[in-house]
Structure 1
Amino acid sequence: MELLPNAASFYRSTLLDDVMPFWLRHGLDAEHGGILTALDRDGSLLDSDKSVWFQGRAGWMFATLFNTVEPRDEWLAAAQSCVTFLRAHCFAPDGKMYFSVTREGLPLRMRRYAFSECFAAIAFAAHTRASGDAMCKEDAVRCYRSFLHYSFTPGATPAKYEPTRPMKGIGPLMMGIVTAQELRENLGDVTIDGRSCSEWIDGFIAELRRDFFKEDLDALMEVVTPEGGVLDHIDGRTLNPGHAIECAWFIMHEGRIREDSELISFGCQILDAMWARGWDE
């Protein structure tokens, strides 16, 4: 019975007294803004290139600590540095976000998918709540709208597979759920492209349940046919228990927010099934 209270205390102290001081001391880029993302365990710099995902994740983390733990000036300043760097350097002229940039913010790599937009959206949303910056709210909504466009509009991105064997992956649904949850938490249940955050979440969970969770296999698939069929090939048979457990967490979190026991039960069903799949006896 003492395990969970002790774990909570351990994780809290490790986060606040070890992890965050490390990144504040070694990661923040005082010269160019944003955060350096390739550090050795002693804080020395391994590579000065910057992950755009990390700019958003770090900005969200600093702002969320400010919002939920304690309003420390150093956390708000760190979040501001990350969102300012995102806004100034991480968008291509057409509005799509890069995957990586140089330390100064020059573009290095663009990926076909739009997950940089998700991490930027949650950073902008959390910083809106922390700072009251109305422009950040607009940026958060714009980033989520861009994610929706590139992830679910046919032809918006280059096809990953040839038409011979079309398939769809679970990743965009998962990212759609958790990003909408963070926007709703920090901005309210805002409407984006005609649906509220809660409505987007409902739709993504419904598709995940209908097409990706297979009762007969007791498994959450990573990829399926566009209609939700099982692909009896290596791509289709490959499972990722860690990824699926992350998905279960998002669904259970939504169930807890809504006090919806059925959603919690569904998340637990995925967790139990994929824990068993991943556990090495």
Structure 2
Amino acid sequence: METVRFGEVLDRVKKALDSTMAFWIQHSHDEDHGGFFTCLGCDGTLYDDLKYIWLQGRQVWMYCRLYCELPRFHKPEIIDAALKGGDFILKHAQVFPPEPKCAFVTTRDGRPGSVQRTLFSEAFVVMGLSELGRATGLLHYTRDGKAVLEHVSPEGAELSGSFGRLQNPGHAMEAGWFLLLRAAQRGDSAMIHKTMSSFVLGPLESGWDEKYGGLFYFLDVDGHSPTQLEWCMKLWWPHCEALVALLTAYMHERKPELLDRFFMVFDYTMSHFPDKKHGEWFGYLDRQGQQTHDFKGGPFKGCFHVPRALYLCETMLEQLLEELGPSA
């Protein structure tokens, strides 16, 4: 008898969820400015176009969770709306001054209104964007696992033209060490192996400049000349990410070739980027490895990639030395 009752309840729950989501999908999407309307009357009529940031985060979370967990919601329009909602949050949620907080509410086009002392907006922004990251996952991992692309469709399909063929070895390797850490937490040896191949060694092999050394900034997956004029420059942050990725890979799979590749990147990096006179690193080199800019910080380079990479490498190297013991 309980089985029959459970079946009835399950059927009603599914129908209620479908009906509820159909209401929001039909009435809440702002096709002009992105994000979601939430001030909706009983029939879905919009009665106020203000956008409450905590509700934007919640709806992104809900769409992504359903997209990931329930097959009937695994639809392009669901993830596309979530991506547009996430984009609205990233563009408009944070307000300055007086402090780095999220707005409680914005206008329809994203101009900030009031700010609250509570952390509700911030909490649901983090939840929403975190779930969006899980939902989009490794959609950039394509070509039967042989390439990591910068730009794909919301469904993970490869886009046409040079825009769709674009690769950035630094981004791929940065994702690689993120994935290795996550795989280790889960004890997922298959994920570790796949990450090693596609997100660490693959980008290093395709991105390494055999003539002058160092990692290219951009590549075309089909071997055409990238349209980015700076494609062959050597930048600080891809080399930082490569150092962390390769040493992390060696920590998980003690293969000598991983250590050899780490030392290859390390030797190039430490002989080209550090400023021996004033400290820190220069950020921008030409293909031949000559410094092109003399500033240490700017719109894109700050106190992040270099110290993070050095800190993480220091921690891993200390662990390796501790394992080897005093005789090392």
Out of 9, 14, 21, the residue aligned to residue 131 of structure 2 is: 14
Pairing partner for 1:33 from 125, 130, 146? 146
Tell me, yes or no, if structure 1 residue 178 matches structure 2 residue 308.
yes
User: Partner of 1:79 in structure 2?
Assistant: 196
Cα RMSD over matched residues?
3.8
Equivalent-residue separation in structure 1 for 2:134 and 2:303 (angstroms): 34
Match of 1:116 among 221, 230, 238: 238
Counterparts of 1:66 and 1:13 in 2: how far apart (Å)?
A: 17
Amino acid at match of 1:86: P
**1:118 Cα offset (Å):** 1.3
Tell me the TM-score normalised to structure 2 length: 0.45
SS in 1 for 2:148: coil
Deviation, structure 1 residue 134: 2.8
- Aligned-pair CA distance for 1:50: 0.9
Partner SS state of residue 201, structure 2: helix
Does structure 2 conserve the Cα–Cα contact (< 8 Å) formed by 1:86 and 1:120?
no
The 1:150–1:105 alpha-carbon spacing in structure 2 relative to 1, beyond 3 Å, is farther
Mapped partners of 1:111, 1:167: distance in 2 = 16
Q: Please report how far the alpha carbon of residue 91 of structure 1 lies from its aligned counterpart in structure 2 after TM superposition.
A: 0.9
Q: Quick check: 1:140 aligned with 2:262?
A: yes
Alignment match, 1:169 = 297
Q: Which residue of 2 aligns with 1:224?
A: none
Offset of 1:15 from its aligned partner? 7.1
Contact 1:121 1:139 in 2 (8 A): no
1:179-258 aligned at under 5 Å gives the runs 179-188=309-318
Counterpart position of 1:96: 214
Change in CA separation of 1:106 and 1:82 when aligned onto 2, cut-off 3 Å:
farther
Question: Which range moves more in the overlay, 127-136 or 68-77?
Answer: 68-77
> Which segments of 5 or more consecutive residues in structure 1 lack a partner in the other structure?
192-281
Secondary structure of the residue aligned to 1:152 is coil
Consecutive unaligned residues of structure 2, counting only runs of 5 or more, are 1-117, 277-284, 322-328
Task: Measure how far apart 1:43 and its partner are.
Answer: 2.0
- Structure 1 counterpart of 2:238, one-letter code: S
TM-fit CA distance, 1:16? 7.9
Q: Which residue of structure 1 aligns with residue 179 of structure 2?
A: 62
Specify which structure has the higher proportion of helix: 1
Larger radius of gyration: 2
The answer as to whether partners of 1:184 and 1:190 remain within 8 angstroms in 2 is no
After TM superposition, the score normalised by the length of structure 1 is 0.52
